[in-house]
Chains A and B, each alone.
Chain A
Amino acid sequence: MQLFSRPASAARQPAQSPSPGAARRIRKTGVVAAAAAVVMALSACGGGSSPQNADGPVELRFSWWGGDKRAQLTQEAIKQFEAENPNIKIKPEFGDWSGYWDKLATQVAANDAPDIIQMDEKYITEYSSRGALLDLSKYEIDTSKLDEAALNAGKSEDGLTGIAAGINAATILANPAVFEAAGVAMPDDSTWTWEDFEKIASDVTAKSPKGTYGAAAYGTDEASLGVWLRQNGKSLYTSDGNLGFEPSDISEWWAFLKQLSENKAVPTASEVVEAEAAPLDQSGLATGKNAMAFWWSNQAPALEKASGSDLKILRFPTKTGSSADAELWYKASQFWSASSRTKHPEETAKFIDFLANNVKAGEALLADRGVYPNSEVRAAIESKLTPADVKVVKFIDQIKDELGEAPAPPPKGAGAIQEIIKRYTSEVLFERLSTDEAGKKAHDEMKSAISS
């Protein structure tokens, strides 16, 4: 680029020595131009996808959280899409769950959000109520074959801001190898109670080498709390966006955890804290240190791969000993959302449509993000599923008639709840707070987190 184009008048003038004033002016202009060039360079870095001409290729950014296996499968789906749409390039951005949300918040604030965003139910209300997500119902995305409950999970007063990527359920995954080594029989998950859970888990610990425990501790996320509350006739949230339980409910939940800890059914407090920070493939279940652990159903294949043994998917225990009272529910594992500020909403919608409805996408993604909500895709990819995926699909089908009512969607600010649960769980396990105090304080904190 020519920064100093010589004006025509200057060119015509005869050459003469510039006056001292002119020299200063020239120098000043130089400084200003240099500054302008720097500013221009800075602003050029700012925009994510630079605008393209109508015919040129469009580049979309697509971000998700997850491990290596998910990255491989998703890259394969992107490849299939790009083969069908040579004019659209998809640039992946992925990382761990823990850093994902900090990064996304910063990107959105900097007006640099990815075009396609993998979204979670904890955050979807936060983002959509603040206008950060595109209403996908205004674009060409076929939703006719999607599971209705899963589709509704992405709807709110702000429109359809997320298309469910898969269906999930809260489960307990068991490693039969650890049971066998301890000489303890696998539980029957259609009849077991929480007392059975405690007995079996402490039995495994007692009969296993030091450092191996019957179960991982719950209390590190809201799924296990949600199940507990539902089995007690309460819920995590109410439909009007409040907490659906009392301090005493969560105190009882912690009291039982403490009992598990005292009976050595679960690891020591220090080990629980360390396990929290470990990624999926270094978790107690994956390394054979836990016989049972609390996970989402879609995580079973990845955990099976990491542990190298044939995991079993179990229903949660109940109070009554009847799996009809397990009060599980189908969760939209993740959502496909789009940034409301995307420069290419049509292309973005096209890609989301591909992910949700195209068999080729299904063949690539399989059941890594849960069971496919599109019934046609689900049927078409059945033969391609790995044995681990098949187990997940079977489990989801198996519990279909036992499901409780669909839970209320997490309100704004729900993203902070998990951290609060974790923190007070360690306060309880380290005996720094009584379960009653922890229940009261945690309830207060959660209340203010979702009311702000």
Chain B
Amino acid sequence: MSAISELSSITRRKGKATAAEKKANGRDNKAAYIFLLPWLVGLVAITIGPMIMSLYLSFTDYNLLQPPEWVGLENFTRMLSDARLHNSLGVTFTYVFVGVPLQLAVALLIALVLDKGLRGLPFYRSVFYLPSLLGGSVAVAILWKQIFGTTGLVNQVLAMFGIQGPGWISDPSTALGSIILLHVWTFGAPMIIFLAGLRQIPHMYYEAARVDGATTLQQFWRITLPMLSPIIFFNLVLQIIGSFQSFTQAFIVSGGNGGPSDSTMFFTLYLYQKGFGQFDMGYASAMAWVLLVIIGVFTAINFIASKYWVFYDD
């Protein structure tokens, strides 16, 4: 929102810079680059280098133990007939398209409640934020496994009401749902961003609406939601990108095999299995590039669609 307008004013100012200013800027830039050096080395050595390498490997047959052999597009054509890969795409898409909207809805709901000005708000904010710090961790995934096991906490509670619950994470029909629930539970990060966004909506809009006799619900639909749309968009893009890449939760909860019956076999997990479990690193690299393209496409769709629903209050 305002960051963008600030940026454009900076660039506008820059156009009018004098020669002396330019020289000073140049010196500053050099200093900046030297300070950036450790990060730049990291970027090149740890991110860009391996990425280029993986692009090369995606066109090879590479079993980790012997030098890679060039096979052209074979890895990509093999994907077309790999039923397990298609299944893993289905699992990942379900996770993203069910988990992300649910998580954002919960985050927005909690943010709205907290925005009403509760007593002890900082405390609640921290409590609700906590899961998103912990949710991606191994410890919580293990805890999740205990809670949703056949004799776990959930089934013990259900048993008090005489209900025999299934093995939530060991039954193929409920396992993915349990992992989506874990994702929804980590709503803290988008919630904090929503909360900040809500604070920025000027009160005068609500006052004017109330004078005109708008109900709370109308205020939400007509003022809050449009004014918040850039924030929703921001959260949506971030969460979709993040969810496509999620790995830890499924890896831990399923014990690394995406089971039962591949029902939690995320794309990333299958990639990992192919690369490190089955010595098929060329194929795994090709999969990584396919994932990159998928994420790119969805992010592009997101940006294009945003023109029709995101409202910038400039």
Say whether B257 faces chain A, with CB atoms less than 8 Å apart.
Answer: yes
Say whether A130 faces chain B, with CB atoms less than 8 Å apart.
Answer: yes
How far is the CB of B266 from the nearest CB of chain A, in Å? 15
Instruction: Determine chain A's interface SS by DSSP, over half rule.
Output: helix
**Which chain A residue shows the least CB distance to B173?**
A430
Interface pair B172/A131, CB less than 8 Å apart = no
Interface pair B259/A98, CB less than 8 Å apart = no
Say whether A158 faces chain B, with CB atoms less than 8 Å apart.
Answer: no
Q: Give the complex CA separation of A400 and B27 in angstroms.
A: 83
- Residue numbers in B under 8 Å from A80 (CB-CB): none
The A-B contact count (CB < 8 A) is 97
Interface residues as binary, B162-203 with A (CB distance below 8 Å gives 1, 0 otherwise): 000011011110000000000000000000000000000000
Taking a contact as CB atoms closer than 8 A, the residue among A42, A98, A131 that contacts B66 in the complex is A131
- Residue numbers in B under 8 Å from A132 (CB-CB): 65
Say whether A276 faces chain B, with CB atoms less than 8 Å apart.
Answer: yes
Q: Give the complex CA separation of A141 and B272 in angstroms.
A: 38
Taking a contact as CB atoms closer than 8 A, the residue among B37, B63, B260, B278 that contacts A426 in the complex is B260
Interface pair A98/B172, CB less than 8 Å apart = no
Interface pair A109/B277, CB less than 8 Å apart = no
Given contacts A38-B41, A108-B64, A430-B171, contact A416 B278 (CB under 8 A): yes
Interface pair B171/A269, CB less than 8 Å apart = yes
- Residue numbers in A under 8 Å from B259 (CB-CB): 273, 276, 422-423, 426
**Which chain A residue shows the least CB distance to B152?**
A274
In B255-274, the 8 Å CB interface with A consists of: 255-257, 259-262, 272-273
Q: Give the complex CA separation of A423 and B41 in angstroms.
A: 43
Interface pair B170/A273, CB less than 8 Å apart = yes
Say whether A449 faces chain B, with CB atoms less than 8 Å apart.
Answer: yes
In A31-47, the 8 Å CB interface with B consists of: 31, 34-35, 38-39, 42
Given contacts A105-B276, A270-B166, contact A430 B38 (CB under 8 A): no
**Which chain A residue shows the least CB distance to B66?**
A130
Q: Give the complex CA separation of A39 and B63 in angstroms.
A: 27
Q: Give the complex CA separation of A273 and B259 in angstroms.
A: 8
How far is the CB of B265 from the nearest CB of chain A, in Å? 9
How far is the CB of B69 from the nearest CB of chain A, in Å? 12
In A412-452, the 8 Å CB interface with B consists of: 413, 415-416, 419, 422-423, 426-427, 430, 432, 449, 452
Interface pair B37/A35, CB less than 8 Å apart = yes
Say whether B279 faces chain A, with CB atoms less than 8 Å apart.
Answer: yes
- Residue numbers in B under 8 Å from A109 (CB-CB): 64-65, 281
Q: Give the complex CA separation of A27 and B63 in angstroms.
A: 44
Say whether A196 faces chain B, with CB atoms less than 8 Å apart.
Answer: no
Given contacts A127-B65, A432-B261, contact A426 B277 (CB under 8 A): no
Interface pair A98/B255, CB less than 8 Å apart = yes
Instruction: Determine chain B's interface SS by DSSP, over half rule.
Output: loop
- Residue numbers in B under 8 Å from A131 (CB-CB): 65-66
Say whether A322 faces chain B, with CB atoms less than 8 Å apart.
Answer: no
Q: Give the complex CA separation of A38 and B39 in angstroms.
A: 11
- Residue numbers in A under 8 Å from B261 (CB-CB): 423, 426-427, 430, 432
**Which chain A residue shows the least CB distance to B37?**
A34
Q: Give the complex CA separation of A115 and B151 in angstroms.
A: 43
Interface pair A31/B260, CB less than 8 Å apart = no
Interface pair B277/A415, CB less than 8 Å apart = yes
Q: Give the complex CA separation of A80 and B280 in angstroms.
A: 40
Say whether A222 faces chain B, with CB atoms less than 8 Å apart.
Answer: no
Q: Give the complex CA separation of A26 and B309 in angstroms.
A: 55
- Residue numbers in A under 8 Å from B34 (CB-CB): 31
Interface pair B150/A449, CB less than 8 Å apart = no
- Residue numbers in A under 8 Å from B169 (CB-CB): 274
Say whether B149 faces chain A, with CB atoms less than 8 Å apart.
Answer: yes
- Residue numbers in B under 8 Å from A102 (CB-CB): 272, 276-277
Interface pair B255/A130, CB less than 8 Å apart = no
**Which chain A residue shows the least CB distance to B265?**
A423
Q: What are 8 A-B contacts with C-beta separation under 8 Å? A: A35-B41, A108-B64, A269-B260, A270-B150, A274-B149, A276-B255, A276-B259, A415-B277
Q: A131-B66, A273-B170, A426-B260 are in contact. List 5 more A-B contacts (CB 8 A).
A: A98-B256, A108-B65, A273-B260, A274-B170, A416-B278
